[in-house]
Amino acid sequence: MNSLQTFFAMGGYAMYVWPAYALFFTVLIADTIAPGVRRRRVLRELRTRLARQSMRQNRPTPAPPSP
């Protein structure tokens, strides 16, 4: 058995050691990605709101009813 195989075998405890490390990295990567996704959503919603506001302001005011 070469040294890389020995390393991955973890002395017979591979089925406990590697899932633990996989979970550690999966959770932390998800924790790092989540705020970026939320950030894009927040800014997109803000732009939509601002665009709607400026549309409302630029609309010409209706002419007063003629007598």
Binding site for another protein (CB under 8 A): 7, 10-13, 16-17, 19-21, 23-24, 27-28, 30-32, 34-36, 38-39, 42-43, 46-47, 49-50
- Considering the complex, state which of residue 8 and residue 66 has its C-beta at the smaller distance from another protein: 8
Min separation Cβ 41 and another protein, Å: 9
Q: What's the closest the beta carbon of residue 61 comes to another protein, in angstroms? A: 25
Distances (CA, A) of 26 to 1, 10, 18, 37, 49: 30, 20, 12, 16, 35
